[in-house]
Structure 1
């Protein structure tokens, strides 16, 4: 490409336009402001800086389609104009939730304390009142009938109970189940001596206190291990069936001790699981309206731990 084909310089082209078209008229104020919004398609096709400074398109106004005021409220309706007010609002909600959870925990443990007190009284009657104790030993049908009453009551409770029933109905179910569980526990305790019963009660109390303190302090989430706990429950059930059949034919001490120890460990893990469901702040929690279910779950776990420990202490004392 030759030198004559190059485009003219800027000064030459500007001088040529000045002679051909005359001086160019300025549009708007000079110099232009440093920043401005580009024209919006389909809204304004003129220059970015209008000739009328007093009009709506002066420099500093937003372009069409953009809000003139930034919203001062979040989509959730929480005020964000003042960060301190927002923090106070969130803290108030968290405090209200914590107060509801604490009231729920107090209610559950009050119900549980009443259940355990009643069961302990029934066990004391079957253990320390000799006529009642000897009557149960003399007529084993009373012992087996206690298991039938417990399982029937448990099935009725599972099939018919709803966590959000009204107050009188769920309290009646709670009392009936506590009565059936106490009856079964008392008949079992009547076959053991006083020393074994006291020892089992003491160990059960220590285990319950230790589990409760552990659940309130630990960060390990046992509520995410539902599948593992279900498998362990099935293992305890199958082991119990095998032990019942074998021990009815011939008594084997180590098999009886193995089954009792396995049941005590598994129900201790169940107690940890249900306690963390009660506390909250885990992957799975209980609603504050399910206080009957929470109390029954803890009560069954503690009663089963006592029954398995009673078999261990009774076998060791024998």
Structure 2
């Protein structure tokens, strides 16, 4: 949560709009040095800037999801590819290392995250590594159950997104609750990882999957409302890469937890 706080714009939605004199600022145009905070706060009062920002985020997100869907389909339906990735787990760990390194770079370093073309290059590498991890996980499950989980994930994410845009409830003010739930999920995963080598407990694994899907569904609502600009916390218009990154991760985690919950292993 501390990483996310570093790119928030704190604004009370009940505050009156800032006074503006002179020419209006454009989203793609420059702004005077030392006035970044003023630009950021004022920009959310400009409907055009908000629409451009949200459109950028969801355009990038759509491309990420299409790439991931293509990789999952390849690993699920193409038997030679599926057999190869399962027989070479080294690629999985290499992809995990690339995923972790690029995520930390994008999440913690505002320079690479905001400057073109490095932000798009890093995001592309991140997306490909995450797509590989998701595809390899899907290859161990029955094709029908993978398609079922994809459908459930799409319906859940679409419903949560529409609800987050329409509701008056402010999910961005619930950071403490989300942090507690995330820590519960984290320590539950550690306990499950310790118990798993000794004895597989199906009901405990199912409870963990339900908890994980619920937590990241709440995070999806939280990250969606950060884009809107009319809540307690919001993202700067420069942070379209960070916004797409968070929502993409939420959707992927929801899918993987649904896969653990509803998926059937290949015989």
Tell me, yes or no, whether TM beats 0.5.
yes
Alignment check: 8 A CA contact 2:98 2:129 kept: yes
Q: Deviations over 1:187-218 (max 9, x none)?
A: 11111010111011000000111011101110
After superposition, the Cα gap between the structure-2 partners of 1:137 and 1:95, relative to the gap in structure 1 and judged at 3 Å, is closer
User: C-alpha separation between the residues in 2 aligned to 1:136 and 1:255?
Assistant: 28
Q: SS where residue 279 of structure 1 aligns?
A: coil
Q: Is the aligned partner of 1:197 residue 2:133?
A: no
> With structure 2 as the length reference, what TM-score do the two structures score?
0.79
Partner of 1:121: 70
Distance 2:138 2:194 in 1: 21
Cα pair distance change 1:166/1:95, threshold 3 Å: closer
- Please state whether the residue corresponding to 1:248 is helix, strand or coil: coil
In the alignment, the residues of structure 1 paired with residue 69 and residue 206 of structure 2 have an alpha-carbon distance, to the nearest angstrom, of 24
Would you say the 8 A contact 2:149–2:262 is kept in 1?
yes
Q: Aligned to 2:98, which of 138, 146, 149?
A: 149
How far apart, in 2, do the equivalents of 1:186 and 1:161 lie? 29
Asked if 2 retains the 8 angstrom alpha-carbon contact of 1:163 and 1:293, the reply is no
Q: Report deviation, 1:243.
A: 1.0
TM value normalised by structure 1: 0.67
Change (3 A) 1:163 1:224: farther
Q: Which has the higher relative contact order, 1 or 2, with Cα contacts under 8 A spaced 6 or more apart?
A: 2
Larger-Rg structure? 1
- Number of equivalent positions: 229
1:38 match: none
SS at match of 1:295: helix
Equivalent-residue separation in structure 1 for 2:113 and 2:105 (angstroms): 16
TM superposition shift of 1:103: 1.1
Evaluate the alpha carbon distance shift between residue 317 and residue 199 of structure 1 in structure 2; reply closer, same or farther with a 3 A threshold: farther
RMSD, aligned CA? 2.3
Query: 2:236 aligns to what SS in structure 1?
Result: coil
Aligned position for 1:261 = 210
- Is 1:251 the counterpart of 2:251? The answer is no
Partner of 1:300: 249
- Contact in 2 for aligned 1:204/1:309 (Cα 8 Å): yes
